[in-house]
Structure 1
């Protein structure tokens, strides 16, 4: 930590002190530091491994666009070190969803959905700028846009099913392969990459996003699915009131109609959303099932309340049963529920604590 503070101070040309650990990951260390003038900045230092190098580039490029995150004050590519403006102690969307004020949580959800939609819409003409910035800050790893992660997940998902001793229905591989990027080639929009509730600050100036490590362009449907599922790749997964879930999805959709007016077509929208739900259900299964099989456990190491992995998996698989157009995939979901989840003695996924009286 001392080395990080010294390096960040040298980068800024003024000393920093009183570091507070804001929590990071295996890829990065995040500190709030005081300046000599009494202000504060946030310092983020990245590890030296391939994923951390890609995360450094994603964060640097995403913040450089200046669309929704804190101001990027300085960057040191050799040390993989960033200094950014401090957005303060505003509550996150997760804080409000896990709280007790349903009105505040509802306002925050709608602000989040509108904000993500505006971000995607405003970013459409800046895709070439993003690519140029990535080339400038490249640390030897492609962006997630250029990494065929959906295709890789298809192969890994089929391997996982075989590992579990399941005989998949005919046509599953073809269905999953045909989905591809769920419309990323036709309807791309910028995303910070991890728009989970704890990465969304509800400030006095509106929604501000943090954590741009996986920044890039992806199908707007993949972002919209965070409204429908909700929070497709996150730990903070509970059920939303049905009406509110529809409203936040519609709020996002209305914003992305500006660059993509054809998405007003209901059949086109529902088809894209179905593809996105399949992509994220595969993702969730890959990331949770191996740990959930031997024993259950919480979705987050420290946050409480929090659902369990088995609760989330069963909820995801059950939610995918209503999809149309993917018979082999829905048959696979039924297989997972009957062969693996039938013996899981866990309650159904509850509603978000903020809406406990509604869901």
Structure 2
């Protein structure tokens, strides 16, 4: 997220951002360098009059941007993870953050050539998320109070029924693809939604994808708290098994390694939720979470596979939408306890993906050896 784009930001909007951020810090900011951002944000690395480097993140005025600002301001103020928060201006709105430097992201390691560094990065990522979750239990009311402090009129992520919305849209997406939903699917989706929504809640930055995690000399540092919230630990743990439920940096992980990173996350949360030590409890929760994320991915991506394309505009290598969806469906087709859902996945593989001219999802570049994926 914070890898420099190496272009100067000199427009009037940038000048206004620098002025507002400088007033927050009580200093003048200069030498802005754009770090990418998104359609919702502008992210600048700036220098203070004293020579210190800081990050300024400003948000546009749209609903998604305003909710992202409130979530990030509240999540970082909670103080459990992320870069130190140096200032908040709810009116612009913008944040000023400590600069964590140019360490590689987990995505850089996974797309690189050093399997040991990538494996260590994955384990650090899983342990870091699990430790964060464990430290946060019982602080959900505190986060709600911080949301109220920075509220810009948008509902919290806890109030956003995104799981139920995706489940309701799923049959219509199937119908648009020319496929009828199997008998019993609606009832199974209702059971999945009810169970995963609030069980074993813990804090998460929300977008825990590989490019939002810096691997620094001091260890893992999490970035991007625009979807910060309390959610079921299973929804975070599913990122280990799938892997990376909502991300662009999705390739196939060696099976043994996928289980080890999941175990690292689980070991960190069991002390605060002892019931998760029971394999039956853990497996049932993970199955439901994988189903939730697979429904979400299908609703988001299937309408965009009429013409296939890469999952990221600029990063390479990167899979295509069809490759990722087929991989999601293959993983979810083995879901026990939900026969109609598993049958839906098999039908999608046969009736939809069967007509795609797309190569199977390859392994992560860092783990490839002589054209094959190494097992760990």
Deviation, 1:165, is: 2.3
| 1:123 equivalent in structure 2 | 136
| 1:309 equivalent in structure 2 | 321
| Residues 158 and 229, structure 2, Cα contact 8 Å, conserved in 1 | yes
Instruction: Provide the TM-score with structure 1 as the length reference.
Output: 0.98
CA distance in 1, matches of 2:343, 2:129: 33
| 1:7 equivalent in structure 2 | 20
Selected match of 1:42 from 46, 55, 59: 55
Structure 2 unaligned segments of length 5 or more: list them: 1-13
| Residues 163 and 197, structure 2, Cα contact 8 Å, conserved in 1 | no
Q: Does 1:334 align with 2:332?
A: no
List per-residue Cα deviations over 1:251-282 (Å, max 9, x = no partner). 00000001100100001100000000000001
Deviation, 1:163, is: 1.8
CA distance in 2, matches of 1:233, 1:247: 20
Selected match of 1:219 from 224, 232, 256: 232
CA distance in 1, matches of 2:175, 2:197: 29
List per-residue Cα deviations over 1:143-172 (Å, max 9, x = no partner). 211111100111111211122221110111
For residue 31 of structure 1, give the secondary structure of its aligned residue in structure 2.
strand
CA distance in 1, matches of 2:327, 2:138: 37
Q: Does 1:352 align with 2:351?
A: no
| 1:1-359 map, 5 Å | 1-180=14-193, 182-293=195-306, 295-357=307-369, 358=374
List per-residue Cα deviations over 1:286-341 (Å, max 9, x = no partner). 11111112x11000000000011110011111111111011111111111111111
| Residues 34 and 41, structure 1, Cα contact 8 Å, conserved in 2 | yes
Deviation, 1:181, is: 5.3
| 2:7 equivalent in structure 1 | none
Deviation, 1:7, is: 1.7
Which segment is superposed worse, 101-110 or 8-17? Answer: 8-17
Which segment is superposed worse, 4-13 or 112-121? Answer: 4-13
Q: Compute the RMSD of aligned alpha carbons.
A: 1.0
| Residues 182 and 276, structure 1, Cα contact 8 Å, conserved in 2 | no
| Residues 58 and 216, structure 1, Cα contact 8 Å, conserved in 2 | yes
Misfit runs of 4+, over 4 Å? none
For residue 58 of structure 1, give the secondary structure of its aligned residue in structure 2.
helix
Instruction: Provide the TM-score with structure 2 as the length reference.
Output: 0.93
| Residues 47 and 54, structure 2, Cα contact 8 Å, conserved in 1 | yes
Structure 1 unaligned segments of length 5 or more: list them: none
| Residues 150 and 181, structure 1, Cα contact 8 Å, conserved in 2 | no
